[in-house]
Amino acid sequence: MVRVRFAPSPTGKLHIGGARTALFNWLYAQATGGKFILRIEDTDKLRSRQEFVDEILESLCWLGFLHDEIYYQSQRTDIYLEYAQRLLRQGKAYTEKSPAGSGEAIIYKVVPQKIKIDDLIRGTIEFDATTIKDQVLVKSDGTATYNFACVVDDALLSITHVIRGDDHISNTPKQVLLYQALGFKVPAFAHLPLILRKEGGRLSKRTGATAISDYRRAGYLASALVNYLLLLSWSPGADREIIDIKEAIKLFDIRDVNKTAATFDLKKLDWMNNQYIKTSDSHWLLEQLIPVLKEKGLIREGDFDANYLLSLVKLFQPRLARLNDFAEWADFFLLPEITIDEAAQDKFLKNDLSREFQLFSEKIDGLKDFNVESIERCFRELIKELNIESRVLIHPIRVALTGKTVGPGLFEIIYYLGKERTKERLANFIRQERR
């Protein structure tokens, strides 16, 4: 049975690179009917924190990468010491006192040799062990080093495939030496390519290297983010970009992963997120948005019209790249008073349009059937009567009603604002012009 593992260190939050590694491990386990093991590498007592453990677990759960087993290296110290002592007894390792005299380190004697692995992604990789110095197994404070603990755990947990980032390639020959020294079977290796920013070079916070929990808070859907991560070095074929995870499981093979570096493009992620938002259930989207709207002070607990909010969600749903944009884009529907953007004021409201606004308000007031079609009809009638182009009024009215220059269609805005609020906001502008 295939057994893979994802082994995060809880010295920070789960980021894009780690999430993709977790995805490809989980996906390979699902595709082969295997097991996905989670190992928390928390031996760094100074930097490991429970809050990071919690964040990693929560983010993996949100993405849908549920583990079959979980282990904590901090609980396995005695096991590492036992195997280090075994190498000492066999003469394959030696001890060395700490310069401070506080304890003894256990060090493996590297045997010069040629090492060859058949990487499932990169093909054959050869290493020369003569360039590798003796390896510390256990530090003088009694804690196992990364490479040693990793080998012992992978062997004892029966890990068959080690799928990880190619920044670990330099660790591979050191680990192969330890597998051989301990008499363990060497697993298959697959080293995933780096994820680079669009401009080249490693990701930074500005170009996407933020925590998965931050993407979640920003309004990205888990399904969209997983779909995007899938395309970072793998393709379902036929130039497809949108693929359900269940179908991906049927198609995925770790050998099909591209060995060239992947490019992270935030605009592409926004596009993909929009594709998923557009096809999501509007009621479900509203459930996700209600806590955000409360936090922004746009609604209060037990004091909002859920049906009205749902209609607004449906109005903005096709346009949203990030779910949380809704709170910023739709706030004028929910605020008693709006603030007009200064640039918009200068661009569209610098001329005195009080007469035109008054005439439009009167036409709106006279509508018996208040709907999008009738609102547009009365606007077109006014434009014709005044013998002006629609752009003379359409943008100024939008800004006066919303404070913004972009958004849904003007007639939809007026319909969802309602007749009375539309007249009130137009009247506010008219009063300001007449001062």
Catalytic residue among 205, 250, 278, 294: 205
**2 contacts 124 by C-beta, under 8 angstroms:** no
Angle, vertex CA 167, rays to CA 145 and CA 113, nearest 5? 65
Return the DSSP state at 166.
G
**238 contacts 281 by C-beta, under 8 angstroms:** no
Give Cβ neighbours of residue 106 (< 8 Å, ≥ 6 apart): 84, 85, 87, 88, 93, 94, 95, 136, 137, 138
Alpha-carbon distances of 399 from 340, 346, 347, 422, rounded to whole Å: 7, 11, 10, 12
205 is a catalytic site residue? yes
How far is the C-alpha of 367 from the C-alpha of 359, rounded, in Å?
Answer: 13
**288 contacts 281 by C-beta, under 8 angstroms:** no
Residues in the chain: 435
DSSP codes, 39-105? EE----TTT--HHHHHHHHHHHHHHT---SEEEEGGG-HHHHHHHHHHHHHTTSEEEEE-TTSS-EE
Residues with active-site annotation: 205
